[in-house]
Amino acid sequence: LHLLMTAFCCSTIVGAQQPDSSGSSNQPATADAAPLVRYVPDQILLAIAVRPHQLLTTEALQTTLKTIDAEDLPQQISKAMTKAAGLDPLKIEQLLVLLDQPTVRLLQRQNSRHSTRQEELIDKQSIGQAMISFYDEHGYFPDEDGCGKSKGKLSWRVHLLPYLERQELYEQFRLEEPWDSDHNKTLIEKMPEVFRVTGIKEPGRTSVHIPVGEGTLFSGTEPPTLDSITDSPESTILAVVADPGTADIWTKPGGLQTDMNDPVRSFAGDSQAITVCMASGNTLTLNRSETPEYWRWLLRHTDGHWTLPLRWFPRGSQIPPGLLIRFTEDIDPQKTLTGILGSLQATQQPVAGLTGYRINADSTAVFPDNRTLLISGADSLQLMLEPRAKPSELRQQLEKLLTTGELAAVGDVSGIQAVLRQPASDDQPATPHVIQQNHFTLLLDATGSSPNLLELKVTFDDIDQADRFIQFINQTL
C-alpha cells in the first residue's frame, strides 16, 4: 500500500476505460528490452519484473548516491544479496516474479492441506518447549530411555508429561516399573494428542522420536546438556517427527536409530516435509531434499557448525510464485542452482524436452538457454515453454513497460477473483482464457525517459468502480 501511495504522489492515471486492443505504444517493444516476456504464459494473473543491473547502475542513481557519499552502495547490495540468496543483482539483466492460474490452483490445494499441518506443527512446538522446560528444572534433557529411577523403563515422552500440562497422567505411572508392566500397559491408550501423528491409526503409537546414532546429542551414556553442545542449539536436533512407518508405543523407552550415511532415509519415508524440534526450543519444518551433509550438521552437536544458512527459497512443499531470471552473462546451471538453493538437492526431471531439476514436490527449475533460469511448477513451466501464436493483453502491456522502465508490474484483478472462486481439484483443467476486465499496470523509470518517475494505471470495466476507487484514494491521501 505504501508503494501504491507513493505512486499516486508521483503520478496517477485512473480511469474507466476499455483495454487498448490496438497494441500501439509510444515506444515499440523489443525482445532485447524484455527477454523474459517470451516465457510469460497467457494465463498470467500477476507479474512483477525488475531490471536489477540497469536499476543499480543508472546515472540518476549514481548521481544521487554521490551526493550522499554512498557510491559503493550497489556493490554492498551485490555482496549482501549474493551471500543471502546466491544471486548477484549486478549480474541479473532481468528478474520476473509470476503468478499464473496453475500456480494459484496449487496454492489452493496446498492451503487445504495446510491447516492440518499447521495444527501438527503447533503440537510439536509444545514438545520442543516442554523439553526446554524440563531442562530448566533439571539441568539436562530427558534421555531417550528415560532418566532417574525409570532409566531404561519408560520413554522420555512420559517424563515430559508434567511440562505438557498432563501432570495427572504422569502421576498414574509407576516409574520404577517398565513400560509393559501390568499397570503401566493400561496407560498406553491414554497417549496425549500432542504425540499423535497423521497416518498412524493404531492407538498409543507415535512417530515422534529422539534420533540416536553416532555423534547425535543422545549418543552418550549420560543425559545430554546444553554444555555438551559445542555447536549452536539452534542447529542441533532434539526430536524429529518421523514417517508413520517408524511408529512405536509412546511409553516404550528408546530412540530412532539413524544412519549417518543417509540420515533422512531413517525417518523421512515418502514425506517431503519433515518437522524437527531443535535444542533451542524452536520447531522447524525442513525439506527432505536437504543434502545428507546438511542433515548430519543438524544431528551432530560437536561438528563445528555453529549456524546454518537460511536460504530464501521455500523449504518443504511450499509453493513459490514462478521465478524467471535472465543473467547478463552465460551461467553454469549446477553452480547457479547450488548458489540459490544452498543445501537443497535437485533431482533431474524432464520438462518440455529439456532437462529439469526438481527442487521440491511442487517446484522445478529449467535452463532454456545459457543465460536464463525458470523456476515454477511443472504445469506452469509447460505453459512458459510452449509456443504461442499471439500474446495476451497483459503480456503485451508488460513488454511495453519494460522498454522504458526498470521495474514494471501488471495484474489481472478479475482473473485472480475468478480463479479463487473455483474449487481446488487435483484433476481440474486450467481455464483457457480469462477476460481481463479489471487490471492495473505499474512502471518505475529511473532513467528519466518517461514523463513520470513512477506511474500507476488502473483500468475498470465500469465507471462506478472507478469512482469508488478514486474516493478511496482521496480518503487515504
Dump pLDDT digits (tens) for 195-227. Answer: 999 889 999 999 999 999 888 888 877 888 998
Of 153-167, 362-376, 421-435, the poorest mean pLDDT is in 421-435
* Residue-number span of the structural domain to which 240 is assigned: 140-299
Nearest to 338 by CA among 370, 305, 365: 365
Of 218-227, 295-304, 349-358, 454-463, the poorest mean pLDDT is in 454-463
**51: Cβ contacts below 8 Å, ≥ 6 apart:** 93, 94, 95, 402, 405, 406, 407
Q: Are residues 88 and 145 in the same domain?
A: no
- Grid cell for residue 328: 547478463
Which pLDDT value is given to residue 383?
84
Q: Which residues pair with 286 in a beta bridge?
A: 274
Q: Are residues 46 and 163 in the same domain?
A: no
Alpha carbons within 13 angstroms on the beta-carbon side of residue 283 total 23
Q: Are residues 282 and 182 in the same domain?
A: yes
Q: Are residues 145 and 91 in the same domain?
A: no
Q: Is 81 left (phi over 0), alpha (psi -120 to 50) or beta?
A: alpha
For the chain, the straight-line distance linking the first and the last C-alpha, in angstroms and rounded, comes to 11
Which pLDDT value is given to residue 436?
46
- Rounded mean pLDDT, 111-131: 71
- Rounded mean pLDDT, 126-130: 91
Q: Are residues 237 and 294 in the same domain?
A: yes
- Grid cell for residue 85: 540468496
Higher pLDDT residue, 416 or 39? 39
Q: Are residues 172 and 103 in the same domain?
A: no
For 143-184, write each residue's pLDDT tens digit: 888 888 778 899 999 999 999 999 999 999 999 999 999 999
Strands 12-16 and 454-460: parallel
Confidence of residue 1 (pLDDT cuts 50, 70, 90): very low
Tell me whether residue 463 is in a domain: yes
Order the strands of the 273-278 sheet from edge to edge: 208-209, 237-241, 273-278, 283-287
Nearest to 274 by CA among 138, 124, 418, 405: 124
130-139 in b/e form (b: 16+ CB < 10 A) is bbbebbeeee
Q: How far apart are CA 28 and CA 39, in angstroms?
A: 19
Q: Are residues 457 and 326 in the same domain?
A: yes
Q: How far apart are CA 162 and CA 399, in angstroms?
A: 62
Tell me the Cα Rg of the chain. Answer: 27
Order the strands of the 322-327 sheet from edge to edge: 12-16, 454-460, 439-444, 407-412, 44-50, 92-100, 322-327, 372-376, 363-369, 354-360, 347-351
Helix (H) or strand (E) holding 85: helix 73-85
Tell me whether residue 309 is in a domain: no
Tell me whether residue 167 is in a domain: yes
Number of domains in the chain: 2
Alpha carbons within 13 angstroms on the beta-carbon side of residue 320 total 18
Residue 32 is which amino acid? D
**Cβ proximity of 175 and 260 under 8 Å:** no
Q: Are residues 165 and 262 in the same domain?
A: yes
**Cβ proximity of 179 and 151 under 8 Å:** no
Reply yes or no on whether the pLDDT at 297 is more than 90. Answer: no
Q: Are residues 84 and 196 in the same domain?
A: no
Q: Are residues 83 and 155 in the same domain?
A: no
Q: How far apart are CA 200 and CA 206, in angstroms?
A: 7
